[in-house]
Amino acid sequence: MRRAAPLILGGGPAGSAAAITLARAGVRPIVLERTRETGDALCGGFLSWRTLDRLRSLGLDADRLNRRRITRVHVFAEDREAQAPLPFPALAVSRHKLDTLMLELADRAGAGVERGVTARTAAGREVTLADGATLDPPALFLATGKHDLRGLARPKPDGDPTLGIRVRLRPSDVERRRIEDAIELHLFDRGYAGLAVQEDGSANLCLAVRRSRLHEAGDPERLLQGIAAELPAFADRLDMRPDAAPTDAVANVPYGWRATDGAAGLFRLGDQAAVIPSLAGEGMGIAVASGCSAAGAYLRGGADASVRWQCSFARRAARPVRVAGLVRDLAEGPVAAPALPWLGRVPGLLQMIARATRIR
């Protein structure tokens, strides 16, 4: 058993934000990232204005992520649609780009980044790696994103859980210019899809779908075609898909869950702290905010600050998660969803929802 510096499991936005904050204060954490090369995690890729401000404070300028700005939200349901300006410009970026730049910042700040190292189980702060080695750090920052660690797993969702599905689109120059300044939401029975143009000009189409809807369709491809038959705008976007483009998926996303109880020396970050419905576009905002905030709590109070911090962060996340959950319930309903574009025409309503779903 080895006792080491503060240990961060996961090199995504949450883990990197914590590592940068700790390292710049003179504490050299160890970051264990299970992948040897940075991939492109299944993620909507939306960064709100508040998240861009936090990243700027960490030394990452928005233009390094994407020079295009998103200035409006465009909502579709059946043959209805509505648009509204965002409170402030935002952007979309691939996780490959974001994770690469943030890990580079963590490394330059002095964090010890080790790649290709997989944690298998945890008991409290004690972590067992795939090679059998055990680590007993003074503090453990759990930043494994959607992947649960045995021994510290989140509860599985009941009922009809949500699945995440992603398709990468390649719009033409004309199509890209038509959609690049918007975050699109396509609403349908028991699910919704979000679309945004990333830094390389590709479009990221991410769906959150109830498992029952996928089972009725039979497979992801039939599901996509069924939604396209219902939504003309979605069908138009799906035509941008290159031949043989892969479909990525993740199961049982516990939307609405928050870590409301703390444990000694354990800081849960990102999706391991709170899982906001993806239509809010604040998943990465919660990741970055939790990483910075948890690291700050550790610097002020050491490992003993974890319990109080976890409860405090759960309270901070409560309003955006609940508001997003309410909007999600409306968006997935066969009766309410078609009315949402009409409601979106109410002056200031979409901007109010956008503000209410940001993490403070």
Secondary structure of residue 70 in the 3-state scheme: strand
Mean model confidence pLDDT for the chain: 93
Give tens-digit pLDDT for 273-303: 999 999 999 999 999 999 999 999 999 999 9
Pair 17, 292: CB distance under 8 Å: yes
Distance CA 57, CA 184 (A): 28
| Alpha-helical regions (H) of 147-261 | 173-179, 211-217, 220-230, 232-238
User: pLDDT-based confidence at 4, cuts 50/70/90?
Assistant: low
Give tens-digit pLDDT for 155-193: 999 899 999 999 999 999 999 999 999 999 999 999 999
Secondary structure of residue 32 in the 3-state scheme: strand
Cβ neighbors of 68 (< 8 A, separation 6 or more) are: 91, 92, 180, 181, 197, 199
Give tens-digit pLDDT for 124-155: 889 999 999 999 999 999 999 999 999 999 99
302 membership: H or E segment, kind and range: none
11 membership: H or E segment, kind and range: none
- Which pLDDT value is given to residue 229? 95
Helices (H) and strands (E) in the chain, counts: 12, 16
DSSP state of 274: B
Distance CA 317, CA 273 (A): 9
- Which pLDDT value is given to residue 82? 86
* Tokens read off for 56: 């700027």
Q: Which domains can be identified in the chain, with CATH numbers?
A: 7-64+93-156+256-356 (3.50.50.60), 162-253 (3.30.9.100)
Q: Is residue 336 over pLDDT 70?
A: no
- Which pLDDT value is given to residue 350? 80
Q: Is residue 237 over pLDDT 90?
A: yes
Q: What is the pTM of this model?
A: 0.94
How many CB atoms are located within 10 Å of the residue 168 CB?
A: 19
Q: Is residue 2 over pLDDT 60?
A: no
161 membership: H or E segment, kind and range: none
Q: Is residue 213 over pLDDT 50?
A: yes
Distance CA 223, CA 1 (A): 49
- Which pLDDT value is given to residue 236? 96
Higher pLDDT, 80 or 267: 267
Q: Is residue 87 over pLDDT 50?
A: yes
- Which pLDDT value is given to residue 1? 47
Q: Is residue 315 over pLDDT 90?
A: yes
* Tokens read off for 275: 């899982």
